Amino acid sequence: MSTPPSTEDHIAEQIPWEHLTITPPPDRSRMLYTVAAVIVAAVFGIVAIRQFGPRQAVLQQPILQAPVTAPAIAAAGAAIDGSGVSPAIQLAVPTAPAILSEADLMAVDRDGIERRVAARAEWVVLEFFTLDPSDNWQDRVSAASSLSLPVEMKPEPPDSATVSYVEWVRTYSVDQAGPGSYAVTVIMRRLVAPDGATYERLPTEWVVLELTADAADSLYVSSFPAFTDPPSDEPVEPVGDFGRRRDSMGIAWPAVEGDVEADVEGAVEADADRP
C-alpha cells in the first residue's frame, strides 16, 4: 500500500550569508593625507608669495625740517603778493665743519700715544744699559731709538769683559714737553759684572730721556737716557758701600772709592757735551 503524497507546500528559502557579516568602517587615512597635503601646499604658497612677491617699504626716513633764519622769514612774509602765493624761502647755508689740528687729534688719543711713548722709552733704556761683548751695542740701540749711531759712539766700561744686564725696567711718568715732544722718566735695575764673571745687583736707578713724534706719527729719541734723582715723595733705596763712575756715554759703572770723584767730574763734562 503506497503513501499518498503530502498536500503541504514545501517553501525553500535561501539565506544571504554574505549580508550577515559586519561591514568594516570606511578608510579615512586617504582623506587625512589629502587635507595635510592641501595645508602644506597653502603654507608653501604663502611663503613663496612673501619671499618673491613685490615688497613694500616698511621703514621710511623721517622728514627733517631744515632750519630757517629769521631774516629769510621776514623777507618772505613781506614779498607775499595779492594771490597769496609766497616765493621760495631762502634757507640758511650750512657751514663747513672745522678741520681738527694735529694737536687736537693727539689730545683725543692721548692715552694711546702715551702708551706708545712709554713702550719705546722702556725699549731704549733696556738696550742702552745692556752691554754684552758678544753682540753689537750700536745696532741694538739704533733699532730701538730709530737713530743711526756712529761707530765711535759706544760705552766705555771698566774692562773689555764687563757685562751689564737690565733686570727690569718700568716707566714712571710721561710728560709732554712740547708739540710732539715727550719727557719720560724710567726706573730700572741692573746686574753688572765688571770682570765679566762676578755679578752684583745695583740699586734702583732713575733715568730720563726725551722722545719726539714726527708728522708721520713715528717716534724717535731726541736725547739718550740720563741719570736723575727720584721725586721727593718717592722712597730712596740705600746705595750701599760701592762707588760709581761714569763713562763718556753717561753710563754708571761700579768703581772703587778712589776713582769715584775724578770719574764723576769727567762724567759731568761729558754730560754737558752730549746732545
Ordered structural domains, the chain, with CATH: 107-240 (3.10.450.540)
CA distance 192 to 131: 9
CA 129, 133, 134, 140 dihedral sign is: positive
CA 238, 202, 149, 161 dihedral sign is: positive
Q: Amino acid identity of 72?
A: A
pLDDT in tens, 156-191: 998 889 999 999 999 999 999 888 899 999 999 999
pTM of the model: 0.55
Could you tell me the CA-to-CA distances from 272 to 22, 59, 84, 213, 261 in Å, in that order? 125, 72, 86, 25, 17
68-72, 149-153, 170-174, 227-231: which has the minimum mean pLDDT?
68-72
Look at residue 117 and tell me whether its pLDDT is greater than 90: yes
